[in-house]
Each structure stands twice: as C-alpha cells, then as structure tokens.
Amino acid sequence: MILKLVRRNIAATKGRLLLMLLSIVLGVSFVSGSFLLADSLRSIFSQITETAFAGVDAQVRGVEDELATSFEPLRFPDDVVDQVASLPEIELAEPSLTAVFQVFTVAEDGSNNRPQGPPVFAGSWAGESEVSAFNLREGTAPQGAEVAIDSTQAETHELAVGDQIRVSGPGLEDFLPVTVSGIVTFGETEALGGAYFNLFELETMQQLMGAEGLIDGILLNGDDALSNAQLLAAVEAAIGDHPDLEVVSGTTLADEQSGDFNEIIDILGYVLLGFALVVLFVSIFIIYNTFAILISQRIRQFGLLRSIGMTGSQLSRIVLIEALIIGVIASILGLVGGIGISWLLKQLFAAGGGEFPDGPLIFKPRTILIVFGLGIGVTVGSALLPAFASQRIPALAALRDGAAARQSSRSRRILIGGLVTAAGAALLLLGLFGSVDTTPRLASLGFGAILLFIGVAALSVLFASAVTRAIGRPIEAVTGLTGRLGRDNASRNPQRTAATATALMIGLALITGVLVLTESLRSSFDKILDEAVAADLFVYDDNQQFPFASTALDRLGALPEIADVAGVSDLRVEIDGGVESASGFDVVTENRVLDPKLTEGTYAAGSDGVLVFRDTAEERGLTLGDQVTVRFEDDFTGEFSIVGIFDDNALFGTDWIFDRAFTAQRQNQDAVLFAGATIADGIDIAQGQAAAETAVASFPQLAIENNAEFKETQEGQINSILYLVFGLLALCIIVAFIGIVNTMALSILERTREIGLLRAVGTSRRQLRSMVRWEAMIVGVFGALLGVVLGLVIGIAAVTAIPDSFISEVSIPWVWAIIFMIIGGLLGMLAAFFPANRAANMNVLDAISAT
Amino acid sequence: MMTEATQVGGAVIAAARTVTKIYGSGETEVRALNGLNADFRRGQFTAVMGPSGSGKSTLMHVMAGLDRATSGEVIIGETLLSTLNEKQLTLLRRDRIGFVFQAYNLVPTLSAEENMVLPLQLAGRKRDQAWFDQVVGAVGLGDRLTHRPNELSGGQQQRVAVARALVGQPDIIFADEPTGNLDSRTGHEILDFLQTAVRQLDQTIVMVTHDPISASYTDRAIFLTDGEITSEMGSPNADEIYNHMRSLGA
C-alpha cells in the first residue's frame, strides 16, 4: 500500500522532482566519471608498459639514493656493458642514456618544441629490438646526426622524415643540426599523455648531454632457456664490483613504470573525486529543500492520511521510500552519465595538450557500488530530516488551512547549529595547526569543512529573515511594491531561504577560500621580489621549473654585461641523522643578487660551512661556530660549522644553505633550479637581457626575464591554478543555480492561490515577474554573502597555518568578494526566469480555485 | 426549549465527560469547550449544531482523537483517550473511528477503491468482501471504483469518503459538514445515504452541521453555545430546528 502511494506520488510530482534529480545526477556522474577515467587509464597504462617491456628480461641501473634530488638516474661508465654482454647467459645487452626536459627539438625561431605540461623525454635508441620499448612507424632508427621523434610531436609541429631540424642539449655549445630519421610510437601507443620523445644513437645522446662514456642503464635479453632468477644471479655476480649498481627484472621495471603512471592517475582521480563530492554535498541541500517543500505542499494529504490512521512512522517511510527510488534512478543515470563525463574529461585533457591513448571503459564492481552507495545514501540521507519532520504533521492538518509541522525551537537550533559549527571549526583548526600526519590532517580538514558548512546552514536559518530583509531594503526603496513583495517572500520562510542560499554558499566559500590563498601567495611573492631580490634578470625553465645544467650560468657569468650570477640548486642532505631539504647557493654573491637576509655571521660557507634559518637554529639550539654532521648524495660525510644565520627562508624555500660551488661536486648531476643575475654598471637592462639571451640560446627551455616579466609569469601561473579551481568549482555553482530555480519553481506552485489573488486584485504579469525575480535575487545575494564571509574565514585560517616560507602575507580579495555578491544576485535573477514566467502566465481563475 | 431525546440506539459507544478545551493562554485564551458532557449511542445518527464559534468542530476533533482535551475525559467504547499516547491514538483512529470531512477527503493519487480500503491496508487488515460489496452497492459507485478523485463529481467524492469510513466497520463515524461543499440535491443524496447506513447497516454517526435541513435527517440534534450543550432535540424536523436556532440567536 505504502509502495503504491509512493509510486503514485512520484508519478504525480515528477515534474517537481526533475531539477532535484538533475542535481544528484550531476554529482553522481562526476563520481562515476572520475572512477571510470582513472580505472581506464590505469588499465591502458599497465597494458602499455607490459607491451613496452615485454622483451626486457632485466636491466642494470644505479641504486636509487635516498638523498637523490636528481631528476635523472645515476650515470655510470659504459664499460660495464662489456662486463655484462660477455656473459654467456646474455643474448642482447643494450646500453641507454636518458634525460627529462633537457633535450628539445628546436623550432625555426630558436624556441623549444614542447607541450604545455607533459614531459619531454630524450634517450638513446639502437632501433627496434627485443628490448626496445619503441616501434618505428616510418623511417629508420637514428644514426649519427639523426633523431627519431614520436608521432605526437611530429603531428603537432608538422615534422616529417627527412626534415632538417636542430636539437638542444646541455652538453652543446650551440644547437646540433640533425635530420629526422624516423617517427616512433611507444609500444603500439600513438599518444602517451602528450609526452614527447627524442631518440638518438647512444654516442649522439652522450654528446648532447655532455656525458661522454656514461650511460644510465643496460637493457638485457637473456637466453630463453634460463629462468629469470638464474639470469639475474649471473648479472648480479658480473656487476658485483659496482656497489652502486643493481639489476632488476623486466617485470619489476614494468611494475615500477606503471606504478609511476598510477601515482599520477591516482592524484588525478582523487582531485576529480574531491570535486565530485563537493558537488554532491551541495546537492544535499537541494534534495533537503525539495523534500521539505513537497511535504509542505502535501500537508493536507498527509494530515488526511494521519487522521484515517496512518502512523507517523508510516508517513516518514513514504518520504524515505520516495527518496530511495529517486536515489536509485539518479544512481543509474549517474553511472551512465559518468561515461559522458569521463569522455568529456579526456577531451578536455586532449585540448590542454595531454592526450591519453584510447582504451576500453572499465566498470569495476567497486565503481558501481560506490556510485549506488553515494547516490542512494545522499538522497535518502538528505530526505531524513524532512521525513522526520513529516512525522510531526498533525491529523488536523487535513482540516485546517495553514497548519504546519511543528518547527524545532529556536534555542534547540542555536544549540545544535552552534555545536556542529564549533565541532567543524575545531576540526578545521586541528587540520590546519595540529601536528598530525597528512592523512588524518586532510580528513580533519574535510570533515571540519563539511561540519562547518552544515552548522552555518543550520544557524543561518536564525538570521535568514533579518539579513534578507536588510538586503531587500534598498530594493524595496527603489522598486516599491514589487520589491516589497519579493522581500517579504524571501524572508517569510527562513528555512527554505537558508537551504537554497547554502547551496550557493558552499561553492562560493570554497572559491573565496582559494582566492585568499592565491592572493596571499601573490602578495607574499611580491614581497619577496621587492625585499629580498636585487636581481635584474631571472633565469629558469619557465614551463616546468625543471633543473637545468649549470653550464648555462657559466656562460652568463662570462658576459661583460653581467655583474653577478647567483644560482640556486635543490639538495637533499642528511643533517645529524635526519633527511632535510637544503639549497646550494652561490654564496660569493652574498646579498647582491638574492638576499636571504643574513642576521649573524658571514656567507663564507665554503666546503665545511653551512648557513641556517633563524627559527631552525633556535629550535636546534645552534649558534655560530656549532658543528653539524652532514651527508650528501655521493655519501660524502663531514662536519660543517654554522657560519651564518639567515632570516628569510621564503626565498629559497629551505632552512639550510650550502655553497653551490661545493655542492655541485656532491651531486650526481650539476644542475640549477633557478638563478638571478645583476647587470653591470653602465649597461641598461634591455641590453643586458639581450646579451644573456644570446649567451644561453642553446638552452631553449630557459627564460631570461626582467623583474616585470618575471612577476607576470609567476602571476600567470598562480592564475592558471586559480582558473582550474574556478572551472571545477563552477560545477558547484551550476548545481546551486539549479537549486535556486528548483526552490523558486516549487515555491510558486505552492503559492498558486496567492498569486491568483494578486493577479485578481490587479497585479500585472510584469509586476508579478519582477516580484519573483527580486525574491530570487535577494536569496542569491544572501547565499553569496554567507559564502564570501565563510570563505574569507577559512582562507585566512589556512594562510595563517601555512608556513611563512611558503606564504607570509595575508591578502584579502575585497574586489572579488563584491563581484561574488553581484554574481550571486545575478544568478538568482537568472534562476528566477522560468519560475517568474510561470507565475505570470497562470490563469487567474484556475489559480484562485486551486487547492 | 428542551425536548426529550428519543431513545433510538443501544449502548453508549462514545462519551464526553466534563470536557474542556482551551486554545491559547492569557489574553488570547479561547475556551472552545467548557466542561461539556455528551453520550453517543450505537446505531444513533446525531447532529451537532450551533453557531460559529460554539465549539461544535472542536467537540468533533476531541471526540475523534484528532485533538486532545485540555481536561475531562473522552471515552470511545471502553477506552479513555487521555490514557493513549500519540501512536495509540493513531491506531484508535485507524481501527475504530471513521471520518468524513467537508472537503479534501481523498488521496488524489489513489483510485476510489484504493481510497476506500486505505485504512484497512494501513492496518494490514483483510477486507471483508461481502461487507465491502454491500457498502459499494449502497453508495452506488460500482462503476466508478477505478476512477481517480479528480475524475469524480463532488458528490461522488463524498460518497467515496463515506464508503471509506464504513468499510472499516468503525465504532463510530464523525462527519464534519459532509455536505457543506455540495449543491442541495447532491447533499440530500449523501444525507439519505448516511441515514441508510445508520438504519440498515447499524452504524453510529455524529455529524457536525449548521444546516437545519441536514440535521433533520438525524435521530437527535444537540445544540452547543459557548462550548456547552444548551439543548437537545429528538427526531428533529427542519422547521423546529430553524426556530430553535433563531431563538439561540444564531
């Protein structure tokens, strides 16, 4: 019986459920889409790596050091190849040398060919063989002054076999002219996430890298009659006199490779899932509102059912079963919608230059379970409160107009809302300031934010009427009666107004919070530039901030136009037994280029001194002259005395500074992350910049920027993060928009009689429309106001919690805050478009006689 | 004027004992029922009459367990309603009381037949098919059972509501202005039918009305003024009631 009632109720109100369904489906689709995409990519990449390493039985390579910062594997002399190749167990031993973001093909104008984001690999390639990961699509394997490139790069830059081009390399004085000998694919794959590959004969590659006689791996194919273990044992014995070398099986190699891919895919999946969950969270308020409104519309029916003997729990069961059915429908649609979302995301990545290979969609049972769990859980969960409230509908509601379920009392709301808000704030603070691990920290932040949003939503009911009345005051003053009616309507059901506004609040709070972060990041950065940097020029890889060979700095330093060059390299060292991040810095330039603000001591670190950040020195009780034991990547260990104490750790982002002249010898590869340069007296900046650009022209990945350009690039990067977040959170705003449309449409249906009356006594359609629009606008501004205030609070708390070495300034985006309020109002007005028309077009007589 | 009530009907099936109902408090206090006593007997058709604000609707709500008395006791059969909690009160309504309201009697999404058996199904009771057929025959809706309320005329809707009240064979049926929304001819059909239900099906009906002609269909009319029963009339006819009401100043 109850089921029949539920079915009929849904059938009778399906138009009213549609928008709510849409909001759930959007969230659920995004959830299922992120799982589908991640699972598909995982399966594609594991297949790719399996194929690519299918013929590799083993590889000899350097042992990875815990202190390695180097982006490239350890290099070793190529005579090891002979030691291994001569083994009877080995049929093929192919030496290799690889590089990331160091070797580029160069366009006509001297700029590097590179995609936005994905990596550019270079390596030695001896042509197709059992151990080769690459297949020739056309042409031949590279020999001498030849390069083979991947098909993505060939298509993007219109390169073909036989083309004469140039390549760059850190080992070259100038570009190397080469001929494109062939186009390759990685395994059978055309597009590997947009990455580029430049392949050369080993000798050419060594020349490009300035690594004559060095390799970083040997790919092995053994006698098929032997087991893998036997093969590994034989190789291990052969390289026994090289303790820094190891041999691993081809399967391990493939697993590691797909593990690397999986890490990236996991991050992608989690980010997408995170946003999907935010969208779902927003839709909770819309579902809640829809059910609450539908129940109040059916209050007489529910009263009738109560009076003829339906119990309160039977009544709430009706509501919950309705929610269950809607949840099931939404989950099914969401699962299907996920296919569309994952396709859309792939297209978006492709448009952004990160094309993924095609592969089948993977529907894991886990995905289906989660999608149904979330879809049903969110819908039924959101309907719980309205369902319980429906229990309190009195039987007399059948007889009286305007009878309503008892509302929970004000003091109870203050108590519960206050407790939830406080719990949320406490969890947020714990997450921000507490000294806990990353996972509980993130969980604490997430739950804290959720509780805070719910708590504020509950509390906002208390002041919704007062605030909406205040927002409506100027509107009423300007527009008179229609504004007055809109204002009254916006404030007359605070619960409904609060829930509608909350949906908008969440998206805007997150956006505002992120804005506070990025604005603070920007002003912290500006502060560093203004206070700690005397450099006229900045030298770095402006695309990926990838390290580059320090030979570039030598060339700059040799220029008469340049006074000082100060490079900064990235180190990992073991200090008194603990692994720390540290910087190598050209201390001879002291504070003339980059100023870490020395407070005591000198810059003269040399080969046995170190500078330490003030706070770290205090924590460890270190003063000038104290000794610390330091171990470097090459296992060099020594006693280092504190020669200086500095005040600004934001400039380099680490607490320890060594002399780069010394640390360059300690690293596997001598590379620099970033450098500043000052221009000699009497030379103007443009002239110096031009000279510098010419000097490092063969490093096409490097940007030489003056102060203004540098600022612009950095802001551009902050902005691109911001836009990405905006784009993803825009979905929240869309769902909130649907929520406003939904509430307005349902409220107008509910007020049919009242609207009929207004029309009957002479309200024009136009007046009615503007009345509805003003109401929606007020609700929109209210939501935006809540969101902006909450976002500012969260953002400021986050900025305060982030270490000063990253963000030192708090900056509040006032302009944006005002823009968001305007956007909130406009969204409200836009959302009211259809509901307002509907109200205006009601037949007066029908409306009046409606029950 | 106070005429002796004709002793139609059997044992007392529902009773009010010094029932008081107060709405609001302080300055806004309204005493809707003021120490009222009343008996309703099995097989009796009673009209509750009185001017607006006399408390007749409140009496019905309190008697039917839709609302609680402020003090005093309402008894249905052997049950004291004040001893029941909300849930028990609901079950009492479901199993032992029938309702016919002035309007909005039916669940719009259910057919006529589904509406009629709704209380039975809520209770998980089996329908007594013979009784159901008898009721359906009596209300004359045999060919309308599958229609939705909006496909029925106002009179038909009220007949379905009466049938719903009857199908559960309750101890007593309360009807609140059941003909208030109907034209007089359709109204008389409903009243005829209510009368038939009492006379031939041995049902007990208490009807709140302000219309003397409606009240003339009953066995007994009681008159309320300011929350008290001020007079009572057996086998009333319309003229007598009309005159009496005028004397009450209604």
Domain ranges of chain B: 41-68+83-248
pLDDT per position as a tens digit, A271-283 = 888 888 888 888 8
Quick one: tokens of A807?
A: 């963000």
* Mean pLDDT, residues A749-768: 79
Rounded to whole angstroms, how far apart are CA atoms A797 and A475?
34
Average pLDDT, chain A: 86
By Cβ distance, the residue of B67, B86, B122 closest to A396 is B67
The whole-angstrom separation of Cα A23 and Cα A399 is: 35
Domain boundaries, chain A: 1-56+249-406, 57-248, 464-532+709-851, 547-700
Q: Which helix (H) or strand (E) holds A794?
A: helix A765-801
DSSP string over A550-585: THHHHHHHT-TTEEEEEEEEEEEEEETTEEEEEEEE
Task: Extract the runs of DSSP E, i.e. beta strands, from A187-275.
Answer: 196-200, 214-215, 217-222, 245-249
Are B66 and A396 a contacting pair at CB < 8 A? yes
Task: Tell me the per-residue pLDDT of A120-179, one tens digit each, with 9 for 90 and over.
Answer: 899 999 888 888 888 899 999 999 999 999 998 998 899 999 999 999 988 888 899 999
- Is B3 a residue whose pLDDT tops 50? no
Q: State how far residue A754 is from chain B, nearest Cα, in angstroms.
A: 19
pLDDT tier at A405 (50, 70, 90 boundaries)?
very low
A354 pLDDT band (50/70/90 cuts)?
Answer: low
Chain B contact set for A5 (CB, 8 A) = 107, 109-110
Output A245 or A844, whichever has higher pLDDT.
A245
- What token pair was written down for A624? 């000038």
Contact A825, A781 (CB under 8 A): yes
Chain B: nearest CA to A316, how far in angstroms? Answer: 14
> What pLDDT digit, counting tens, does each position of A225-239 carry?
888 888 889 888 888
Q: Is A594 within 8 Å of A676 (Cβ atoms)?
A: yes
d(CA A148, CA A163): 11
- For residue A435, the model assigns a pLDDT of 67
Considering the domain B41-68+83-248 in this protein, what is its CATH number?
Answer: 3.40.50.300
**From A302, which residue of chain B is nearest by alpha-carbon distance?**
B107
| Structure confidence at residue A97 (pLDDT) | 93
For an interface test with B, the pick among A300, A317, A399 (most B C-beta atoms closer than 10 Å) comes out as: A399
Read out DSSP for A723-792?
A: HHHHHHHHHHHHHHHHHHHHHHHHHHHHTHHHHHHHHHTT--HHHHHHHHHHHHHHHHHHHHHHHHHHHH
Identify the pLDDT of residue A4. 78
Nearest 5°: the CA angle B231, B233, B237 is 135
CB B181 within 8 A of CB B154: yes
Q: Which of A213-222, A320-329, B123-132 has the lowest mean pLDDT?
A: B123-132
With CB atoms and an 8 Å threshold, state whether A396 touches B61: yes
B23 within 8 A of B182, measured Cβ to Cβ: no
By C-alpha distance, which of B105, B125, B33 is closest to A307? Answer: B105
Amino acid sitting at position A754: E
In this prediction the ipTM stands at 0.74
pLDDT of residue A399: 67
Pairwise CA distance, residues B40 & A484, whole Å: 53
Cα distances from B34 to residues A183, B17, B69, B70, B230, in angstroms, run 101, 11, 10, 10, 11
Q: What are phi and psi of A355, to 5 degrees?
A: -70, 140
Q: What letter does residue A75 receive in the DSSP assignment? A: P
Hey, how many other C-beta atoms are within 10 angstroms of the C-beta on A81?
18
Residue A390 confidence (pLDDT) above 50: yes
Residues making up chain B, counted from first to last: 250
Nearest by CB to B90, from A300, A311, A396: name it: A311
pLDDT at B6: 47
Q: What is the mean pLDDT of residues A428-447?
A: 78
Asked if A562 and A677 count as a contact pair (C-beta separation under 8 A), the reply is: yes
User: DSSP 3-state assignment of A632?
Assistant: coil
Give me the residue label for tokens 């390549």.
A167
A533 SS3 class: strand
Q: Is the pLDDT of residue A18 over 70?
A: yes
Report the gap between the CA of A17 and the closest CA in chain B (Å).
16
pLDDT in tens, A26-76: 989 999 999 998 898 888 888 888 887 888 889 999 888 778 776 678 889
Using an 8 Å CB-CB cutoff, list chain A residues near B116: none
B176 close contact with A: CB closer than 8 A: yes
**Burial classification of residue A619, based on how many CB atoms lie within 10 Å of its CB (0-12 exposed, 13-18 middle, 19 or more buried):** exposed
Q: Is the pLDDT of residue A748 over 90?
A: no
**Radius of gyration (C-alpha) of chain B in whole angstroms:** 18
Given this model, what pLDDT does residue B1 score? Answer: 42
User: Using 50, 70 and 90 to split pLDDT, how confident is the model at B44?
Assistant: very high
**What region, left, alpha or beta, does residue A338 occupy, with left being phi > 0 and alpha being psi -120 to 50 degrees?**
alpha
CA B130, B133, B138: angle at the middle one, nearest 5? 125
A803-835 tens-digit pLDDT: 776 777 888 888 989 999 999 999 999 999 888
What stretches of A201-238 adopt beta strand conformation (E)? 214-215, 217-222
Query: Is the Cβ of B110 closer than 8 Å to some Cβ of chain A?
Result: yes
Which pLDDT score, from 0 to 100, does residue A165 have?
A: 93
User: Inter-chain contact B109–A8, Cβ cutoff 8 Å?
Assistant: yes
Q: Are A71 and A122 in contact (CB under 8 A)?
A: no
DSSP string, A682-711: T--HHHHHHHHHHHTTT-TTEEEEEHHHHH
Measure CA of the first residue to CA of the last residue in chain A; give whole Å. Answer: 25
Give the Cβ contact number of residue B221 at 10 Å.
Answer: 30
- The answer to whether B88 faces chain A, any CB pair under 8 Å, is no
pLDDT over 60 at A697, yes or no: yes
Residue A641, H or E segment: strand A637-646
